[in-house]
Amino acid sequence: MRSLPDSNIKNIVIIGGGTAGWMAAAAMAKLINHPNINITLIESEVIGTVGVGEATIPHIRSFNHLLGLHEDDFVRKTNATFKLGIEFVDWDKLGKSYIHPFGPYGVPMNGVRFHHYWLRQKHGGSRVSVDDYNLQVMAAKAGKFSRPQNIPNSPLSTIEYAFHFDASLYAKFMREFSENLGVKRIEGKVCDVKQVPETGFIESVVLENNEIIEGELFIDCSGFRGLLIEQTLKTGYDDWSSVLPCNKAVAQASKRKNAPLPYTRATAKSAGWQWRIPLQSRTGNGHIYCSDYMSDSKALETLIDGMDTDAIGSPKFLNFTTGKRKKIWNKNVIALGLAAGFMEPLESTSIHLIQTAIARLMTNFPDKNFNEADINYFNDRSLLEYEQVRDFLILHYKATKRDDSEFWNYCRTMTIPESLKERMAIFKENARLYRHDNELFGDASWFSVFNGQGIEPARYHPNANIMSEDEFNSRMSSIQTTWSACLKSMTSHERFIEQLCSSEM
C-alpha cells in the first residue's frame, strides 16, 4: 500500500454511535481504506441514542449500493418493510387524505409534464383522480409492491421505493459492517475536549476514564447536544421554529399489523401530527407536536388513541428546536445527523441529510490544511439543501384550510420564506414547478403536495391544449389501462417480504 504524505489526515474520530455516527463510519471505512488511516468511533451506552428515525426516502438505496449491501439481507436484519410514499391524512382539511408517492405521475407528452394534461382533463369536467396515473399510489392503496422491473417504457421500470426499518437494528447493522472494515469502537463518555490554543481546532477528546483520543478530523454525531460543534465551538443555531413550530415528540411502539402496508402514514392532529411506520416486527408510532398548544399528557393520550394496534413498552418523549447549525463544518469538526440540525420527520429527510453530508464530505475531504474555500463551499451547499427541504415541509403546514385549532390557525396565517411564497404563487397561477439546483424534491413531489393540500392552479401549460380531443382522450385512457395492468401484475407487499426477505427466515 502506498505510504501517505504528512499532510494527509490519519486519525478520524467520530463522536456518537447513532444512525449518523455509524453511517459515517461505514461510508468512510469503505471509501478511505488505508492501514495508516484510523477511524475511531466513541459512543456511550449510558447516554444511548435517540432511538427513532425509521422511515427513509429512496436515495438510501444508493448509500446501500455504495456499501455493497445485499438488499434482502439488509431488509431481513433490520426488520424492514418497503415504502412507496407517505399518506397525509387530515392535512388540507379533516376527512381528506392524499399520498405523496416516490415515483412519477403518468408520462410527459410533447415535452409537457403530465400533471398539466391531468389538469386539462380536470378543467374539462373529469373526476378521474390523479392517483390513477401514479403506480406507486395505486400500489400503496392496494398493499402491493414490486422492485423496478427491466421492461422498457413500462411504469414498472420506474418504481421508486425506500424502507421503513428498526433504527436500533440499523445502527447495529452499520456497526457490524464498519467494525469488519477496521473501525475501532470505544465505549465511553466524552467529558472534556481539548483545543489547540492558537486556532481553536479540536486536538483531542477525553473520556471519563481519562483516556485521551487524539484526532485531526472530528465528526460530531453526538445528537441534539452537538458536543463539539456547539458545546465546544459555539457555532450557533438558525432557529426555524417560527415556520416549523413543532418542538416535541412522543414515540411509542405498538404491535405489528398483520399485513404491513408499504407506506408511512402522517395524520394531522390538533397541534401537530402522528406517524405510523410499519415494520416486520412491530409498528412505530409517534406524535410530533408544539408545546405552546398541547401538554405532554394530552399528546400521549392523542397518540395512543390514534394507534391501530396495542402499545408495546413505554413511551419516549423528546424535545427539539427545528433549524440547523450556522455552519455544519466549523474548523476541523463536521456535524452530522441531529448535531447538524433537525427539521422534524414529516418527509423522512433526516437520514437522507446525513447521507448527503457524508457524500459532500467525501467530495471535499480535507487534508491537514483545511482549505477555507472547501469548507465555505460545503457550508453553502448544506445551507441551500436544508432551506429547500425546509420550504417543502412548511408547505404542508401553510397550505391548509384547517381552522379547528389555534395551532392550525397559526400555521395557516404564518409568514413563510419568500422562496416558498414565490413557488406557491407560480403554481397557483399556471401549475408550473421549478426544480432549483437539483434539489431533493422533484416535480412529482411538489405537485402531489400542492394538489393534495388543495391548491388549485388557475391555468395549466398552454401547450397541453394542443393535442386533439380524440388523441388526448385516447392517450389518457391508455395510460390508465396500462397502469392498471401493471398494478395487477404486482404481488402483495406482505407476500413479497415473506418470499424474499422475511426477518423470520
Ligand X SMILES: Cc1cc2nc3c(=O)[nH]c(=O)nc-3n(C[C@H](O)[C@H](O)[C@H](O)COP(=O)(O)OP(=O)(O)OC[C@H]3O[C@@H](n4cnc5c(N)ncnc54)[C@H](O)[C@@H]3O)c2cc1C
Query: Residue 339, Cβ neighbours under 10 Å: how many?
Result: 29
Closer to ligand X by Cβ: residue 67 or 227? 227
Closer to ligand X by Cβ: residue 138 or 251? 251
DSSP letters for 213-253: EE-SEEEE--GGG-IIIIIIT---EEE-TTTS---EEEEEE
- State residue 63 phi and psi, 5-degree precision: -65, -45
Q: Draw the binding track, 221-240, toward ligand X (x: CB under 6 A; -: no contact).
A: xxx-x-x-------------
Query: Does residue 318 bind ligand X (CB under 6 A)?
Result: yes
Query: Does residue 186 bind ligand X (CB under 6 A)?
Result: no
Q: Please report, as residue ranges, which positions from 334 to 373 form the binding site for ligand X (by CB under 6 A).
A: 337-339, 345, 348, 350-351
* Rounded (5°) CA angle 121-264-295: 115
Query: Does residue 382 bind ligand X (CB under 6 A)?
Result: no
Among residues 210, 202, 244, the alpha carbon closest in space to that of 226 is found at: 202
Q: Which amino acid is at 28?
A: M
- State residue 17 phi and psi, 5-degree precision: -125, 40
Region from 42-50, 144-152, 289-297, 405-413 binding ligand X, contact rule CB under 6 A = 42-50
Query: Does residue 16 bind ligand X (CB under 6 A)?
Result: yes
As given in the structure block, the three cell numbers for residue 135 are: 403506480
Is 324 one of the annotated active-site residues of the chain? no
- The position carrying cell 410514499 is 85
Query: Does residue 166 bind ligand X (CB under 6 A)?
Result: no
Length of the chain: 505
- For the chain, the helix, strand and coil percentages under 3-state DSSP, each to the nearest 5: 40, 20, 40
Q: Which of 83, 122, 269, 327 is catalytic?
A: 83
As given in the structure block, the three cell numbers for residue 254 are: 405498538
Query: Does residue 52 bind ligand X (CB under 6 A)?
Result: yes
- The position carrying cell 402491493 is 144
Q: Name which position in 320, 408, 450, 460 contacts ligand X (CB under 6 A).
A: 320
Distance CA 83, CA 162 (A): 5
Q: Draw the binding track, 270-309, toward ligand X (x: CB under 6 A; -: no contact).
A: ----------------x-----------------------
Among residues 431, 193, 129, 125, the alpha carbon closest in space to that of 333 is found at: 193
Q: Name which position in 40, 49, 168, 400 contacts ligand X (CB under 6 A).
A: 49
Closer to ligand X by Cβ: residue 202 or 339? 339
Query: Does residue 322 bind ligand X (CB under 6 A)?
Result: no
Closer to ligand X by Cβ: residue 250 or 416? 250
Region from 52-60, 368-376, 429-437, 440-448 binding ligand X, contact rule CB under 6 A = 52-60
Min dist. Cβ of residue 349 to ligand X (A): 6
Report the DSSP pairing between strands 264-269 and 85-89.
parallel
Distance CA 25, CA 457 (A): 46
Closer to ligand X by Cβ: residue 133 or 273? 273
Among residues 102, 212, 107, 93, the alpha carbon closest in space to that of 155 is found at: 107
Min dist. Cβ of residue 93 to ligand X (A): 25
Min dist. Cβ of residue 250 to ligand X (A): 8
**Residue 446 vs residues 95, 385, 391: alpha-carbon distances, Å:** 22, 15, 10
Q: Name which position in 13, 249, 271, 328 contacts ligand X (CB under 6 A).
A: 249
Closer to ligand X by Cβ: residue 278 or 457? 278
Report the DSSP pairing between strands 237-239 and 217-220.
unpaired
Region from 37-45, 119-127, 410-418, 474-482 binding ligand X, contact rule CB under 6 A = 37-45
**Residue 148 vs residues 165, 186, 461, 466: alpha-carbon distances, Å:** 20, 41, 30, 33
Q: Which amino acid is at 488?
A: K
Q: Name which position in 44, 136, 146, 322 contacts ligand X (CB under 6 A).
A: 44
- The size of the interface with ligand X (CB under 6 A), counted in residues, is 39
Region from 5-13, 40-48, 193-201, 399-407 binding ligand X, contact rule CB under 6 A = 40-48
Q: Which amino acid is at 23?
A: M
Residues annotated as part of the active site: 83
Chain residues in the site for ligand X (CB under 6 A): 15-21, 42-44, 47-50, 52-56, 167, 189-190, 221-223, 225, 227, 249, 251, 286, 318, 320, 337-339, 345, 348, 350-351
